[in-house]
Amino acid sequence: MNVFFEESGDFKVGAILSQAGEAYQVEMPSGKRTKVKTRDVLLQFDKPEPQALLDAAKAIVLDVDLDFLWEVAGQEEFGFAELGAEYFGHAPLPHEAAGLVLALHGSPIYFYKKGRGRYKAAPEQSLKAALAGIEKKKQQAIVQAGYVEELKAGKLPQSMQQIVHQLLFKPDKNTIEYKAFETAASELQTSAPRLMLDVGGLASPKELHMGRFLFEHFPRGAGFAPVDIPKAPGDLPLANVAAFSIDDVTTTEIDDAFSVVRLDDGSVQVGIHIAAPGLGIRPDDAIDKIARARMSTVYMPGDKITMLPDEVVNAFTLAEGNDCPALSLYAVLDPSDWSLKSTTTRAERVPIKNNLRHNDLDHVVNEETLESGAGDYPHKDELGLLWKWALQLEAGRMKKREAFGLKPEQANRVDFNFYVEDDVVSIVRRKRGAPLDKIVAELMIFANSTWGKLLHDSGVPGIYRSQTPGAGGWAAKMQVRMVTHAAPHQGLGVDQYAWSTSPLRRYTDLVNQWQILAAAEHGVTAPLVAPFKHRDATLFSIVSAFDAAYSAYNDFQQNMERYWCLRWLGQENVKQAEAVVLKDELVRLVDVPLVVRLTGMPQVARGAQVKLDIVRWDEIDLQLEARLLEVASAEPDASLDYEEEADTGEAAVAEVVEAEGAVAAVDTGDAPQPAPASAQ
């Protein structure tokens, strides 16, 4: 005797060997033996052989007319044998009955299973809906297959042209567009970004990197809606100075300027004048909400996304020939030893006589000309005095750094300026700490430290940058963090440091400017009128949001700088390159700030110069493959930057100094992020 039975949702056949109670010992056609409970047996038959019955049953399934079978079944629950008699017109033969079971079980949209061998026909409306769904899926499968063929032929389907970024960066995996795109990429054995470039959805790898950043951080676009231009109060006093700024040629957000006046008593008055959008923008107004949403200007080689609309920047930037609203810090100095006699802070209009540019002055303003008085250039006398004071400021900071147990700042670092025009990049090395850089940086550090103290002494909270050792004591890596109270910045060698000198491009500085204006105008009553009070939840949320945005913008800038370094390799047809060892297997090219890992490189001293064979690079993955040709010199070159800034906290020092005045590492001339000269 043979049986047709159900086991774990599958239908099988076999020959009965024995019976014990409510179970059969069954041998299947494969020779395998199994125990089958009697309740799972649907048919018992003598002929044909088990395998022959199963084959015949499967043939029956192919001939079953499901629509007719559904009509015959009616709306009542039934057993398969009952329906078989109606459908076949006679008591079904074993192979017919088995075939009917397979047909019923394999058509769940027509028949609902109610038990072993028992079913019920689906309601008419449910059946129609299910059939419509199946037909829709068939049509979608046809369309999807068409999309795949278009993609494989190098054409982007029309329906994908408006969702390129969504497909790449945040796809809906249930859509046929995504499924087709994924299938095509898999069949072509390529990645999604490469396929999108191949089919013309993206014009270049640059558009890929830009698109990813904008999609995540500027989903509504990087432009601005029309805004009303804020104005500073009309009764601001006019300063009796002739101020000048020092920036890169492409800088548009001119935040800072300087003035020098010799007083009758022989003292020197140095003015540090900071653009004052805080006099026109008020907390929670329309412009403030724009700035708070962005938190900072975003920099990249060849472009930038400003924190404020251009018309607002133009209203407050310190452009030459204008009397500009400014927050001024005046320092009265004794030129005999450059000691500080007094400081004064006030809001006023400042006449900007010149916007000096590094590109015009770097070749004539250096340490030798400043010391000797040689050369002829604008504001020569003022720059000479500022240079002497900057050296004193630097020396004072170095003493305090030493008191904190830190090494002196390195003087041999190099920065890289990126200039992009018509997709052609120029990367220019520039030694960090050049005189003009040092003047701006030291005066900005002085202003930020002085104003930080003013806020603290006035009892007004602000946003400070603090740098202290992390957990583990002095041997631990220095940690830079943002706090709302005065705290030392040991890396810079100052007792407090409140970002305040870039309010056109950094939201923290705009917030601090509001607080400083309150402290300067109201003195001891400033805590009552300042926009942000102690333990203000809004101030804490600003700090948190700024940290997140600033970190993301910095990562993006470094990625874009790496992209343009790789473009430069191709543009200049570089086959071999000089590099300097940073640490272990990490080396950095000398001509561009591009770091590459040489896996398996022999142990070479840090700072050693090596020659590389450039094998290949990838502008999509931003990877460079190179191999070591030779060790050109095992001795460190003092003119090259090779030390790792992270060792004693100099990374944070460099970041702050660059942010506050050193020439920018990008073409905009005023990037707040550090150049990637010593970071991978």
What is the average pLDDT across 413-425?
86
pLDDT (0 to 100) of residue 636: 61
Quick one: pLDDT band at residue 471, thresholds 50, 70, 90?
low
Quick one: pLDDT band at residue 671, thresholds 50, 70, 90?
very low
SS3 at position 208: helix
Quick one: pLDDT band at residue 663, thresholds 50, 70, 90?
very low
Question: What torsion do the CA atoms of 113, 115, 116, 119 make, to the nearest 10 degrees?
Answer: -40
- Alpha-carbon distance of 552 to 379, in angstroms, equals 39
What is the average pLDDT across 460-489?
79
pLDDT digits 0-9 by tens, 252-281: 899 999 999 999 999 999 999 999 999 999
Q: Which residue has the tokens 């959805």?
A: 201
pLDDT (0 to 100) of residue 325: 97
What is the average pLDDT across 418-435?
85
pLDDT (0 to 100) of residue 358: 85
User: Do 104 and 64 meet the contact criterion of CB atoms below 8 Å apart?
Assistant: no
pLDDT digits 0-9 by tens, 88-129: 889 999 999 999 999 999 999 999 999 889 999 999 999 999
pLDDT > 60? residue 239: yes
What is the average pLDDT across 36-65?
93
Quick one: pLDDT band at residue 649, thresholds 50, 70, 90?
very low
pLDDT > 70? residue 152: yes
Question: Exposed (0-12), middle (13-18) or buried (19+): which is 251, by Cβ within 10 Å?
Answer: buried
- Alpha-carbon distance of 256 to 440, in angstroms, equals 9
In the chain, what percentage of residues exceed pLDDT 90? 69
Quick one: pLDDT band at residue 656, thresholds 50, 70, 90?
very low
3-state SS, one letter per residue, for 143-186: HHHHHHHHHHCCCCCHHHCCCHHHHHHCCCCCCHHHHHHHHHHH
- Alpha-carbon distance of 369 to 362, in angstroms, equals 11
Quick one: pLDDT band at residue 416, thresholds 50, 70, 90?
confident
What is the average pLDDT across 175-189?
93
SS3 at position 589: strand
Q: What is the mean pLDDT of the chain?
A: 88
What is the average pLDDT across 242-258?
91
User: Do 184 and 229 meet the contact criterion of CB atoms below 8 Å apart?
Assistant: no
Quick one: pLDDT band at residue 290, thresholds 50, 70, 90?
very high
pLDDT (0 to 100) of residue 412: 61
pLDDT (0 to 100) of residue 361: 87
Who has greater pLDDT, 314 or 677? Answer: 314
- Alpha-carbon distance of 179 to 159, in angstroms, equals 13
141-145, 290-294, 576-580, 643-647 — which is least confidently predicted?
643-647
pLDDT (0 to 100) of residue 410: 64
pLDDT > 70? residue 62: yes
Tokens for 506, please give them.
């950094």
pLDDT > 60? residue 652: no
pLDDT > 60? residue 624: yes
The closest alpha carbon to 462, from 417, 428, 520, 513, belongs to 513
pLDDT (0 to 100) of residue 417: 85
Contacts of 1 (CB under 8 A, 6+ apart): 15, 16, 44, 45, 46
- Alpha-carbon distance of 652 to 673, in angstroms, equals 10
pLDDT (0 to 100) of residue 405: 78
Kindly state the helix (H) or strand (E) to which residue 321 belongs, with its residue range.
none
pLDDT digits 0-9 by tens, 340-399: 999 999 999 999 999 999 888 888 888 888 888 888 899 999 999 999 999 999 999 999
pLDDT (0 to 100) of residue 401: 86
pLDDT (0 to 100) of residue 635: 64
Question: Exposed (0-12), middle (13-18) or buried (19+): which is 97, by Cβ within 10 Å?
Answer: buried
pLDDT digits 0-9 by tens, 534-563: 889 999 999 999 999 999 999 999 999 999
Quick one: pLDDT band at residue 650, thresholds 50, 70, 90?
very low
pLDDT > 50? residue 675: no
Half-sphere exposure of 504 (CA within 13 A, CB side): 25
SS3 at position 660: coil
User: Do 247 and 666 meet the contact criterion of CB atoms below 8 Å apart?
Assistant: no
Q: Hey, which bits of 358-423 come out as E strands?
A: 414-421
pLDDT (0 to 100) of residue 659: 44
Q: Which residues of 571-601 are buried (b: 16+ CB within 10 A; e: fewer)?
A: eeeeeebebbbbeebbbbbbbbbbbbbbeeb
pLDDT digits 0-9 by tens, 504-525: 999 999 999 999 999 999 988 9
Quick one: pLDDT band at residue 667, thresholds 50, 70, 90?
very low
